[in-house]
């Protein structure tokens, strides 16, 4: 006796029921560019919660620099620790926030190497949302890193001549410049092979730029060839403008040069990052 194979109609019925249920419900609206960017920005903030060392190693080091340079070298360089703290703190504020920009490239490279970006590409969202959102989240990280330095300065006795408004203006200028600089490191993050390489390469560039600037000493005390380099160093321009805003002596030219640099970095490296992001995935 032979038995003929039978096919059950249950799977077909289940499929039809699912399709009927889906077709009877209105399609959810597609998320807009702003909402998706903010969502990815919040994702960037959550990374700090799960990997707090991302922020610790770029805040603890500047804190050590403030305390060490103020009390070891302040008297020799400026005559008193108070006078040197007033000179040093805006420079350390710049250094602390600028160092944090490296993690924009590190985070993007991590997402690339782990295949997370491929999942983002499958979502019905605005294509640049992961990039823009990540940098928006990093902006809050810059504010947090800068706030640590300002609060430390207040504890040590720093009193900005321009008051809270000058400090806030200086902080905003540093954050705007760092947003432009972060596009440089997102480009680097897409070009290098590993997060460690991005971090090492970023700090290898930033350490010379910050130390060969006017963060720690007056450039007029340096040798002529080094003073010439400091004079064209973009970090020096940022420190000069930030220090001027906190002192109440900033000029329009100093602030305008920093803003123009930030706009130029964004105009060059944001499209380059988008191009690499689109073609590397």
Q: Of residues 111 and 243, which shows the higher confidence score?
A: 243
Residue 15 has pLDDT above 80, yes or no: no
Q: Specify if 21 maps to a domain.
A: no
The reported pLDDT for the residue numbered 193 is 86
Confidence of residue 110 (pLDDT cuts 50, 70, 90): confident
Q: What is the pLDDT of residues 196-227, one digit of tens each?
A: 899 999 999 999 999 999 999 999 989 999 99
Query: How many domains does the structure of the chain reveal?
Result: 1
Tens-place pLDDT, residues 246-278:
999 999 999 999 999 999 999 999 999 988 888
Tell me the Cα Rg of the chain: 25
Res 57: pLDDT: 66
- pTM comes to 0.83
Q: What is the mean pLDDT of residues 175-202?
A: 92
Q: Encode pLDDT of 44-61 as tens digits.
A: 777 777 766 666 766 788
- Is residue 168 one of the residues assigned to a domain? yes
What's the chain's length in residues? 281
**Average pLDDT of span 28-50:** 75
Q: What is the 3-state secondary structure (H, E, C) of the chain?
A: CCCCCCCCCHHHHHHHHHHHHHHCCCCCCCCCHHHHHHHHHHHHHHHHHHCCHHHHCCCHHHHHHHHHHHHHHHHHHHCCHHHHHHHHHHHHHHHHHHHHCHHHHHHHHHHHHCCHHHHHHCCCCCCCHHHHHHHHHHHHHHHHHHHHHHHHHHHHCCCCCCHHHHHHHHHHHHHHHHHHHHHHHHHHHHHCCCHHHHHHHHHHHHHHHHHCCCCCCCHHHCCHHHHHHHHHCHHHHHHHHHHHHHHCCCCHHHHHHHHHHHHHHHHHHHHHHHHHHHHHC
Res. 228: pLDDT tops 90: yes
Residue scoring higher pLDDT (5 or 46): 46
pLDDT > 90? residue 171: yes
Q: How confident is the model at residue 93 (pLDDT cuts 50, 70, 90)?
A: very high
Of 147 and 55, the structure prediction assigns the larger pLDDT to: 147
**Whether the Cβ atoms of residue 96 and residue 145 lie closer than 8 Å to each other:** yes
The arithmetic mean of pLDDT across residues 12-31, rounded, is 66
Q: Is residue 85 in a domain?
A: yes
Residue 11 lies in a domain: no
Task: Please give the structure tokens belonging to residue 260.
Answer: 């123009």
What's the pLDDT score for residue 214?
A: 93
The domain of 266 spans 32-280
Q: Can you give the pLDDT at residue 1? A: 47
Q: Is residue 171 part of a domain?
A: yes
Contact 166, 255 (CB under 8 A): no
Average the pLDDT over each of 15-19, 114-118, 227-231, 272-276 and give the range with the smallest value: 15-19
More confident residue, 62 or 178: 178
Rounded to the nearest integer, the mean pLDDT of the chain is: 85
Is 19 inside any structural domain?
A: no
- Domain assignment present for residue 219? The answer is yes
- Distance from C-alpha of 59 to C-alpha of 147, rounded to nearest angstrom: 10
The answer to the question of residue 10 being in a domain is: no
């Amino acid at each position: 006796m032979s038995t003929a194979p039978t096919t059950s109609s249950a799977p077909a019925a289940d499929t039809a029921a699912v399709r009927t249920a889906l077709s009877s419900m209105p399609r959810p609206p597609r998320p807009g560019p702003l909402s998706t960017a903010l969502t990815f920005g919040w994702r960037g903030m959550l990374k700090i919660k799960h990997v707090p060392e991302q922020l610790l190693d770029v805040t603890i080091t500047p804190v050590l620099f403030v305390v060490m340079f103020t009390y070891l070298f302040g008297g020799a360089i400026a005559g008193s620790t108070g006078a040197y703290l007033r000179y040093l703190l805006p420079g350390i504020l710049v250094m602390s926030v600028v160092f944090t920009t490296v993690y924009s490239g590190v985070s993007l490279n991590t997402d690339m190497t782990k295949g997370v970006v491929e999942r983002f590409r499958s979502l019905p969202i605005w294509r640049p949302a992961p990039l823009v959102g990540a940098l928006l989240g990093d902006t809050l990280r810059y504010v947090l890193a800068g706030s640590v330095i300002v609060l430390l300065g207040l504890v040590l006795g720093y009193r900005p001549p321009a008051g809270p408004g000058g400090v806030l203006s200086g902080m905003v200028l540093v954050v705007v410049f760092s947003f432009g600089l972060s596009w440089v490191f997102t480009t680097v993050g897409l070009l290098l092979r590993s997060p460690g390489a991005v971090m090492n390469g970023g700090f290898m560039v930033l350490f010379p730029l910050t130390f060969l600037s006017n963060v720690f000493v007056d450039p007029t005390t340096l040798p002529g060839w080094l003073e010439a380099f400091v004079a064209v160093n973009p970090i020096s321009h940022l420190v000069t403008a930030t220090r001027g805003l906190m002192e109440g002596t900033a000029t329009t030219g100093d602030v305008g040069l920093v803003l123009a640099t930030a706009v130029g970095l964004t105009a060059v490296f944001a499209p380059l990052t988008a191009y690499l992001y689109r073609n590397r995935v």
